[in-house]
Structure 1
Amino acid sequence: MVGAALAASALLPTAPAAQAAPTAGTTVEPFDARFTLTRVDGVKTDLISAVESAGVSTAPVTEVLGSRTGRPGLCHPTGLNGALRPDGFCWDDQDDRTGYTDAGGGWMPQGFAGAHVSGSADGTYRGRTLFAASWYFGVLNQPEEYTRVSIAESAGGGAPVSYGHIALVEPVAGGDFKKPVFPSHADGVAWYKDRLFVANGAELQVYDLNHLWRMTDTTAAATGRAADGKSSARHHRWALPLVARYSTISTATLDDPSTAFLRGTPRACGPAAENFGELCMSSLSVDLSDTANGPALVSTEHRSEGGARIVRWPLDGLEAGAPERVVSYGTAYTSPVTGIQGIAKGGDTFYLSGSCPTGYPGGYACLHAARAGEAPRVLTQAPYLTQGLSYDPRAGRLWGYNEALENASGGRRVVFSVDPAAGAATTDGWGWLTNRHRAGAICATPLGNATANGTAVTVWSCTGSELQRWRYDPVNRFLVHQASGRCLTPKANGANVDGAVLTLWTCNPSSDVQRFTPDAVTGLLVNDYGKAIATKGNSLADGTVLTLWTKSTGTLPDAQDWSVKGF
């Protein structure tokens, strides 16, 4: 029957009408849209019950946690801005290194979700601080073979990390189960109450944590119940059965698998002409900020160019049931961010993981932030190939993780969190005198954290210390250091001297050597003698002193790209 259904879906007599979306602009732009998730394969609760009646036992989610031990802290370079108070943990060495380049294939991370959005009053799941991460198994340049979800527990701040893996399976007739019918990339995962939602292109998969199954045979590569009564899920101790699947395809018919997906695959969606612009779900998260309408599922697409659509879906029917259709909220958005891999929403702000703008250091992703109608700004760089994101509204922290393959230095995968508000400028203008051309950003910092007159100002990694805060005084055109109250001043008043070391000194409104003006085109801070803030030897290494140097008239050197701002 499955084969017949797939064949029929490839022979749809009527092509869907192309789905219109606004051309990508420079802002997170709202547009009027109504997308529909259509249930395409019935509700599988009776099939799940039949498996359990046949002897497959259920287990609590917390039982999964004891099987593997992670490593607290950020064990690899992340590119995260220290002013955002980063924290996190790492998988064990095996999960850090596995990947589709392994002989025989390996596991690749994709979506990420926290139980902080699972709907409980305290942001936990049954009293535990838990996270879910989705992975797919495959071989490079071949179709994906299996998917799994990891459940991890970590309180952060160096606390122990424990986790385990759960195979995603599909119940079938006869009290049996198998791997899901359609190959899945497990692009995104979201967690609300007892439900996990997994994105797979045009497919949304729904799972229920109340039906976590305990396998009796972890040695078998097969999936399902064997003749001897043993159950297995490709070497996994636990399996989670599919409750329902939905399609974003506009021509999908209720509970008719033959109409579910274009050309029989959930991966056929997006802007390509042959996909008719049908909506993709490449990343998911839960948005708890809409107090009027209730919790929402947020999805976005992965596109190498800009124009990915962001859509919000009501969760009131999906939180426990399997409604026939779910219609999106009427306002959707397009994003100019390229290469989007993850999305989260905190308050009225969208957070997007994707490619970095031109000029940022290579080897890292970027986290972007924007409200509707705003141009996204880079919040911070982030670990290479950062994927899914999840926002914790109670702690005010943004979580994510990456899928980077190991290199000559070893594994590179990190689960991380940052506080997006920690790097903001204060209401009275105290921000950071900063340069973005080193991963994680660098901040102007008095040597040895001293505050006396004559203290040299140096390059240092941004840490969030109050000793790194500065403010631009537009009246006097001073750069004022908060902790000392002193101004950025060239040594020996050498305001017209290339290489003059910049120091702290008592602000003097009668002197012109402390005055700087942002360049109207580049924003470059330039003094009254045409000298810009630079670094000795154009080095961006910690401890390098800041100096003055003649403003470049050509391409802006990295060492001169300093500005006062919040992150």
Structure 2
Amino acid sequence: MKTVSLPRRFLATLCGGALAAVAFLAPAGGTPSRLDSEPAAAGTYTLTRVGANNSGLITDLEAAQVVKRVDYTAVLTERDGKPGLCHGHGLNGALKYDGFCWDDDDDLTKPSLPGGGWTPQGFAGAHAASPEGGYHGRQSLYAATWYYAKGYEEADKDLYARLSLVEATGSQVNYGHVALVEPVAGGFKELTHRTHADGVAWYGDWMLVANGTELQVYDLRHVWLMSSTDPKAGTGVVAGRSSAFGHKWALPLVARYSTTGATIGNPRACGMATPGRPLCLSTVSVDRTGSAPALISAENRASGDARVVRWPLTGLGENSLPSGIASDTDFLTSVWGVQGIARDGDNYFLSGTCPRTWPGWDTEKNGNTLYSCIHVQNAATGSTHVLSQAPYLTQGLSYDPHVRRLWGMNEAYNGLRVVFSIAPYAGRTDAQGWGWLSNHNRPGFICATPQGGATDNGTPITVWPCTGAESQRWALVDGLLVHKESGKCMTPQGNAASANGTLLTLWTCNANSDIQRFTFVNGGYVNTWGKAITPKGNSFESGVWLTLWTKEAPPNPDDPSTIGRGDVQEWVVKGFLD
């Protein structure tokens, strides 16, 4: 029997046909995401400016020294965060994750504390503030929105809102909180509408804060220093002293827009289930990947078919706000529970609910209690798959086109909050065609990895968290599963290719043998004897050996009890973003 050593340039012959047929699990029981059957007409939705433009009033208050205007950089001196991801997160290691954490007070604050607490929601980066990226020469600035509540009932929520400004340079994290207030003659007050601060987008000097049907506009050129930081002093100006619910700084509302026309009413009453189906702005981000900048918004809808809308921002000038902004495109996504959205040009990234066969799914709660997931939706075809697990209750997303990193933040309670970034394109099949041999029902969870990093003949292949290491890259070439680092092929131990439980190992490739040959069948690779790649005991625990076992029948689409059947055997070579 002739043995051959396959050169690494052979990837030009990579079997793309089989890989293209890989089917990813639809988000949380939904159907595959779809674009509307026909393109939406421009102007399907409109953001209408409601009330006055407060720019003149804000300037007058500053000129009269009712309030003291300071540079936004003053806010960055208040608190110190923690570089790195200080809590568990579930992110795909192949995507080169990084990030930072808040200080202990902000990590632990929550509505159930005595007197109430804060919950983070929206997230934005200065990388989208300008075409060249950055804000006033600073490249590592970020913003987050929070709402304040004294409990978890609706009557106790959304009492105040704040914006955090952060500078995170990698080795150092500095930030501060700014209260969001509304200017009035002689001073300022609490915001007119209860604000959940669902999302935030950074565009030039403007901070665009989503709140249901309402889009609030703030100007970073007008940060105010408060006279008092006593929370009991309330919000406003009394006897010449300013205070904003205990905050050192405040940011006044310049204008507000509404998806419901010239009146807002209750901005929290929106969505597909509300009479009239008023459009909800549940999350927003700035997209600078097209010919013109745009605001992207998405609704949070538990069961999918949430509306995603694109709003051109060309009418927002340095000192001008249009009376209205008409949408230019919209579509539906089947991702369940969308909390964040961003776009890189080719793809939309959406944070939402994980598929229900994944770890952490709670049938009674109809959701995942361990992780969120970041879904990728192709902008041209609407096809959707999961890029990675993500920290529990991941909220706003923001894409940095200059370094091609996706940022996000979660709202989990009890000391589990992180601000993270990942590099989606680091998870692609590389230029030579090497991908990841992974169970893509658990993106970022597990990759086929030679035990101990060894490359010798006979080395067992194990389940291991994906790290992005070259030792986890494989290719399917003419039916052979070839390991990049060793140049060897996945081979049944002792050539026992027909026996259940046979250990899978590395061995010198033999292009003339069927023993090492696999084909794609029903979501995973199967050998000539109908045996599929299967972790021993159906376990995804680190270090578990990969074996051969008879391929299970695929799920019956008419029988919900079969959902997820055979998932443990769905091992394929592919890039996570492919």
TM over 0.5: yes
Distance in 1 separating the partners of 2:488 and 2:374: 33
Q: 2:417 aligns with which of 385, 405, 413?
A: 413
1:110 to 121, 127, 130: 121
Bigger shift: residues 541-550 or 228-237:
541-550
* Contact in 2 for aligned 1:429/1:472 (Cα 8 Å): no
* 1:371 and 2:378 correspond: yes
Structure 1, 203-212 or 529-538: larger mean CA deviation: 529-538
C-alpha distance in 2, partners of 1:24/1:506? 42
> How many Å apart are 1:179 and its aligned residue?
1.0
**Which of 171, 176, 193 in structure 2 is aligned with 1:164?**
176
On the 8 A contact 2:121/2:145 being kept in 1, the answer is yes
1:308-347 to 2 correspondences below 5 Å? 308-347=306-345
CA–CA distance in structure 1, aligned partners of residues 277 and 74 of structure 2: 42
Asked if 1:152 corresponds to 2:160, the answer is: no
Q: Deviations over 1:62-89 (max 9, x none)?
A: 1111111111111111110000000000
DSSP-derived class of the 2:425 partner: coil
Unaligned runs of 5+ in 2: 1-29, 361-369, 555-561
1:322 deviates by 4.5
Q: Distance in 1 between matches of 2:389 and 2:237?
A: 48
Shift in Å, 1:98: 1.0
Tell me what 2:392 maps to. 384
Q: What is the DSSP-based 3-state SS (H/G/I as helix, E as strand, rest coil) of the residue aligned with 1:499?
A: coil
Within 5 Å, give how 1:98-497 maps onto structure 2.
98-119=109-130, 121-138=132-149, 139-141=151-153, 142=155, 143-156=157-170, 159-173=171-185, 175-249=186-260, 252-253=261-262, 260-261=263-264, 264-274=265-275, 276-291=276-291, 294-362=292-360, 363-372=370-379, 373-406=381-414, 411-436=415-440, 440-473=444-477, 475=478, 477-497=479-499
Gaps of 5+ in 1: 1-22, 254-259
Q: Post-superposition shift, 1:226? A: 3.9
Is 1:31 matched with 2:32?
no
Q: Which structure 1 residue ranges, 4+ long, deviate > 6 Å from structure 2?
A: none
The aligned amino acid for 1:347 is G
Give the structure 1 partner of residue 59 of structure 2: 49
Equivalent pairs, count: 521
Q: CA deviation at 1:526?
A: 1.3
* CA–CA distance in structure 1, aligned partners of residues 317 and 104 of structure 2: 35
Provide the secondary structure at the position in 1 that maps to 2:246.
Answer: coil
Provide the rounded CA distance (Å) in 2 between the counterparts of 1:225 and 1:104.
20
- The answer to whether residue 90 in structure 2 is matched with residue 90 in structure 1 is no
Give, in angstroms, the shift of residue 124 of structure 1: 4.2
Contact 1:244 1:322 in 2 (8 A): no
TM-score normalised by structure 1 residue count: 0.88
The secondary structure found in structure 2 opposite 1:103 is coil
Secondary structure at the counterpart of residue 204 of structure 1: strand
Instruction: State the 1:415 CA deviation.
Output: 0.2
C-alpha offsets along residues 414-439 of structure 1, whole Å, 9 cap, x if unaligned? 10000010011135432111124557
TM norm structure 2? 0.87
Q: CA deviation at 1:224?
A: 4.1
Q: After superposition, what is the alpha-carbon deviation per residue over 1:329-370, rounded to whole angstroms, capped at 9, x for unaligned?
A: 432121111100011111221111111123222211111112
Structure 1 residue 217, shift from structure 2 partner: 0.4
After superposition, the Cα gap between the structure-2 partners of 1:117 and 1:393, relative to the gap in structure 1 and judged at 3 Å, is same
Instruction: After TM superposition, list the pairs within 5 Å mapping 1:10-21 onto structure 2.
Output: none
Name the CA shift for 1:297/1:437 in 2 (closer, same or farther; >3 Å).
closer
Residues 538 and 342 (structure 1), Cα distance of their counterparts in 2 relative to 1, 3 Å cut: same
- Fraction of identical pairs, as percent: 53
Residue identity opposite 1:354 in structure 2: G
Q: How far 1:50 sits from its partner (Å)?
A: 2.9
